[in-house]
Chains A and B, each alone.
Chain A
Amino acid sequence: MAERCAVVGLGQTKYDRCLRVTMDGLVREAALKALDDAGLTFADIDAIVLGKAPDALEGVMMPELSLCDALNAVGKPIHRVHTAGSVGASTAISAVTLIESGMYNTVLTVAYEKQSDGDFMWALSGGKSGGQGAGGSFAPWIRNYIARSGAPEHIGWKVAVKDRLNALKNPLAHLHMEDINLESVKESPMLWEPLTFYEACPSSDGAAAMVMTNKAGVKRSSSKAPPAWVIAHAKRTELAVYPGRDPVKPLAGVDCAKELYKKAGITDPRKQIDCAELYVPFSWFEPMWLETHLICEEGDGWKMVDEGATEIGGDFPVCMSGGVLSSNPIGASGMVRCLEAANQVRGTAGDYQVDGAKVAMGQAYGGASNYFAMWIVSSDPDPTFN
């Protein structure tokens, strides 16, 4: 790579049902927070990369056109990425390549969703067909995971409780469920067998933004926190349907992780990565992704959950911020995973900081579990792994 990319500014709005501002206000708020964190202004930005999930969610076609003023993009390049649910992470990765290419010095990347401005279920089903919702698509695969792995039913409840308790430490999280416990998750209404209401993500509004720059730019930035260096990134896509496809452990997810670790020089991800923000919109995806991304052996993902390994304080904390289960601004959710990984290695994660985190992973998936995008960030621009 020509240039190493550093993340020097992070910005997020509060995640909620946000009727206080427009989409313009939402993205600008996140952008200004990220610039402030970086000690930079819009004048320092050479290009903007915007991501969000389907335009139909808010009913705005190619929203980069109407949001360019709010992002001070007038006179600059603004690029728009859309790769389904993985889009936030894909957008971050596209922004990284702008820096790595040597063509741009400092880039602002922003992702958002404003679900309250639209109707997700309507949009997801193309407006007419009814539609089973995302959970309805994923539940059969989750049942298959349970059948294959022999995981006990409380695993899903346990992930739901862990992520909501983590969210209590994150003031920006949408859900703050003080009283959540295994029993309340189990007793919440059944949505898509085996997923209960409390095992599903909320519908959130929100935006996330990051400022990225090269080595010279790090010196110009006056951020109080150290940079997070992007050590590796990878993306993989496979067909949504093909004979022999395994949607429980998609080959694209396996290949993406292999490529990521190879680029980073990681040989033992569970040991060499300090923590991860994985895209877990329904509880069971935590053990499923731990296995798909080779963090543990096949069939052992649920055991990591059961042993508490993925809690803050465990040996491989997952979704310290509360994850997608606590806030799901769809188009932004993948970027939030990448951003929160950077937050950890910068040591700025506050109450949900993992002690001594130096290497963190951000991951997102999308579509019919056929899109994957991931990155590894580190406090060290050239970490070595033993």
Chain B
Amino acid sequence: MAEDIAIVATALTPCYRNYADSEPSMIMSLVNQILEETGVDRYKIDFTIAGSSDYLSGAPFSFIASVDGYGASPPVYESHVEMDGAWALFEAFVRLQCGDIDLALVVGSGKSSPGSPREIFPIQTDPYVQAPLGLDPVSVAGLQANALIEAGKATERDFAEVVSRSRRDALSNPNAQVAKDVSVEDLLKAPYYATPLRKHDLPPITDGASAMLIARGDRAKELCDNPVWIRGMDHRIESHHLGLRDLTDSPSTRIAAKNLGLEVSSLDVAELCVRYSPEEIVLRQALELGTNTKVNPSGGPLAGHPVMATGLTRVVEVARRIRLGEASRGLAHATSGPALQQNLLCILEGDA
């Protein structure tokens, strides 16, 4: 039954600390890159879908302006999710499975620089009881880190090792915002920020966008020599009550992996949406990743976190490594909500 669907082109902006121009202008630069690379006429794309957040831009209906970035005159078949662009990819993947259309453009974009994420994100929590307390994502990540330490599943050194490796790997990523060769020992000398987390355990504040063109079956083979096939996508959510969750585990990731029949031994690379260093420990354990899988060779979100594009960027990073021949099979992960509440997995594979 399942249709073969592949990524045929990808584009990323650099991770900017503060991108002075507008969100639509970031999108437009990516869409133009993709159209140029593939030679596809914008108005021959069957379906367009974007992921973004009004609250990051500080304006309701901000996504309407983003339409200017990918063009819609004459009108296009288009939709929008108020989620990371990885969920826009999920909907595009579902839509192409229907079998009547072939080509979809997927965009994720966000500018975190105009606002204060620690003030904005508490309103993701339950508005009646939790949001008034102002529990922000950094504090939740601190709770998760403490839970891991108390459960004996991780140490502060483990967190520092995630950061040291990610920052070093980011040196070879031209789009990275934070890249540095820094030792675990030096990292552990830094003061606490949200105990037991240090500032380097947090992602930077980033503006950025990512985009891709996906195609069905033969259309994918026509459009590029080395399509990256999407072998499956699934996403799951957990309770919003932190007290009802085991913060040291990610059962929603486990369910998604099981439903996809994920065989981790076959994964050469995994790009995980590690926004806070302890999340990598949780995800590695939930996915049961082995030493044969290279995790976050791009540096991951700790090297650049364009909220609403961070998850889709993970898919782009895996697809690029497969296209370059550095990997033949990989996993991309996206997340939403406090302490990895909602998780999406996407399995990618090159032509054998």
B64 in contact with A75 (CB, 8 Å): no
A370 in contact with B74 (CB, 8 Å): no
Instruction: Confirm or deny: B187 has a beta carbon within 8 angstroms of a beta carbon on chain A.
Output: no
B241 in contact with A69 (CB, 8 Å): yes
Contact (A126, B239) CB under 8 Å given A59-B127, A66-B127, A101-B95: no
A337 to chain B, nearest CB (A): 17
29 examples of A-B residue contacts, CB within 8 angstroms: A54-B54, A54-B60, A55-B55, A59-B127, A64-B342, A65-B337, A65-B341, A66-B125, A74-B238, A75-B255, A77-B235, A79-B83, A80-B83, A81-B79, A81-B80, A82-B54, A82-B80, A82-B81, A82-B82, A84-B64, A101-B97, A234-B77, A236-B76, A237-B77, A238-B76, A239-B71, A239-B72, A250-B75, A256-B75
CB nearest to A49 among chain B residues: B91
**Stretch of B7-15, B116-124, B200-208, B273-281 that contacts chain A:** B116-124
Within 8 A of B (CB), among A91-139: 94, 97-98, 100-103, 117, 123-124, 126-127
B237 in contact with A78 (CB, 8 Å): yes
Taking CB atoms, residues of chain B closer than 8 Å to A94 are 79, 91
Instruction: Confirm or deny: A76 has a beta carbon within 8 angstroms of a beta carbon on chain B.
Output: yes
B97 in contact with A102 (CB, 8 Å): yes
What is the size category of the interface that chain B forms with chain A? 35 or more
B131 in contact with A55 (CB, 8 Å): no
CB nearest to A22 among chain B residues: B128
Query: Most chain-A CB neighbours within 10 Å: which of B74, B98, B125?
Result: B98
A237 in contact with B76 (CB, 8 Å): yes
CA of A98 to CA of B63 in the docked complex: distance in angstroms?
23
CA of A80 to CA of B63 in the docked complex: distance in angstroms?
14
A2 in contact with B98 (CB, 8 Å): yes
Q: Which positions in A face B, CB cutoff 8 Å? A: 1-2, 22-24, 54-62, 64-69, 73-84, 90, 94, 97-98, 100-103, 117, 123-124, 126-127, 234-240, 242, 245, 250-252, 255-256, 259, 367-368, 370-371
Taking CB atoms, residues of chain A closer than 8 Å to B55 are 55-56, 61
Taking CB atoms, residues of chain A closer than 8 Å to B95 are 97, 101
CA of A180 to CA of B56 in the docked complex: distance in angstroms?
44
A125 to chain B, nearest CB (A): 8
Query: Most chain-B CB neighbours within 10 Å: which of A1, A82, A117?
Result: A82
CB nearest to A62 among chain B residues: B124
CB nearest to B256 among chain A residues: A77
- Give the contacting residue for B63; candidates A64, A66, A78, A82; CB below 8 A: A82
B75 in contact with A236 (CB, 8 Å): yes
B126 in contact with A66 (CB, 8 Å): yes
Within 8 A of A (CB), among B240-270: 240-241, 251-252, 255
B78 in contact with A237 (CB, 8 Å): yes
A62 in contact with B240 (CB, 8 Å): no
Taking CB atoms, residues of chain A closer than 8 Å to B97 are 2, 101-103
Contact (A101, B98) CB under 8 Å given A55-B54, A80-B81, A238-B75: yes
A236 in contact with B77 (CB, 8 Å): yes
Instruction: Confirm or deny: B234 has a beta carbon within 8 angstroms of a beta carbon on chain A.
Output: yes
- Give the contacting residue for B94; candidates A59, A74, A103, A240; CB below 8 A: A103
8 closest A-B pairs by CB:
A54-B60, A101-B97, A252-B75, A237-B78, A82-B82, A238-B75, A65-B337, A236-B75
- Give the contacting residue for B99; candidates A1, A117, A237; CB below 8 A: A1
CB nearest to B252 among chain A residues: A75
Instruction: Confirm or deny: B58 has a beta carbon within 8 angstroms of a beta carbon on chain A.
Output: yes
B121 in contact with A61 (CB, 8 Å): yes
Instruction: Confirm or deny: B225 has a beta carbon within 8 angstroms of a beta carbon on chain A.
Output: no
B80 in contact with A83 (CB, 8 Å): yes
A167 to chain B, nearest CB (A): 28
Known contacts A61-B120, A74-B238, A77-B235, then 20 further A-B pairs from the complex at CB < 8 Å, ordered by chain A residue: A2-B1, A2-B97, A2-B99, A57-B60, A61-B121, A66-B240, A68-B238, A73-B237, A79-B235, A83-B79, A94-B91, A97-B91, A102-B2, A117-B127, A126-B58, A236-B77, A238-B72, A238-B74, A239-B72, A239-B73
B98 in contact with A100 (CB, 8 Å): yes
- Give the contacting residue for B81; candidates A73, A81, A250, A367; CB below 8 A: A81
CB nearest to B99 among chain A residues: A2
Taking CB atoms, residues of chain A closer than 8 Å to B77 are 234-237, 259
CB nearest to B47 among chain A residues: A235
CA of A211 to CA of B65 in the docked complex: distance in angstroms?
33
B82 in contact with A80 (CB, 8 Å): yes
A74 in contact with B237 (CB, 8 Å): yes
CB nearest to A65 among chain B residues: B337
Query: Most chain-A CB neighbours within 10 Å: which of B73, B120, B121?
Result: B73
CA of A61 to CA of B234 in the docked complex: distance in angstroms?
23
A262 to chain B, nearest CB (A): 12
Taking CB atoms, residues of chain A closer than 8 Å to B284 are none
Instruction: Confirm or deny: B68 has a beta carbon within 8 angstroms of a beta carbon on chain A.
Output: yes
